[in-house]
């Protein structure tokens, strides 16, 4: 919602108000009650509500992201298990009983 600034040309009261874009501009001064309340021309501020992009994309953006720890991957393939006859299985590992 945009934040608009108004000033009364009669009494000098000035304040900011949150207004929807479709709302008509305020005309009656809340202090003196006269219809001399006018919208000032300035950079319009706005307020975001809800859990939109701010909460998901920019919340905590001042903090640096944690460094990712990566493990070095070896270039060589792991050694293959020994084949049968070389002590890989129980039948090969134990000496034959006669």
Q: Which mean pLDDT values do the consecutive 10-residue runs of the chain (98 residues) have?
A: 89 92 92 93 69 59 60 61 64 58
pLDDT score, position 42? 75
pTM (global) more than 0.75: no
Domain coordinates in residue numbering, the chain:
2-50
Q: Cα separation of 82 and 89, whole Å?
A: 9
Backbone angles phi, psi at 30, to 5 degrees: -70, -15
pLDDT reported for residue 3: 84
4, 35 Cβ separation under 8 angstroms? no
Selected from 3.20.20.480, 2.20.28.10, 1.10.40.50, 1.10.357.10, the CATH number assigned to the domain covering 2-50 reads 2.20.28.10
DSSP-derived secondary structure for the chain: -EEEEEEETTT--EEEEE--TTSPPP-S-TTT--S-EEE--SPPEE---SSSHIIIIITTTTSPPPPPP-PPPPSSPPPPPPPTTTT-SHHHHSPPP-
Closest CA to 38 of 72, 70, 4, 64: 4
């Amino acid at each position: 919602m945009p934040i608009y600034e108004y000033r009364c040309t009669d009494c000098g009261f000035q304040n900011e108000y949150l207004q929807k874009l479709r709302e008509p501009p305020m005309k009656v001064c809340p202090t003196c009650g006269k219809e001399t309340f006018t919208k000032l021309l300035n950079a319009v501020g706005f307020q975001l509500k809800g859990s939109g992009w701010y909460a998901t994309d920019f919340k905590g953006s001042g903090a640096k992201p944690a460094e990712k720890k990566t493990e070095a991957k070896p270039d060589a393939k792991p050694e293959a298990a020994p084949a049968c006859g070389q002590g890989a299985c129980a039948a090969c590992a134990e000496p034959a009983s006669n």
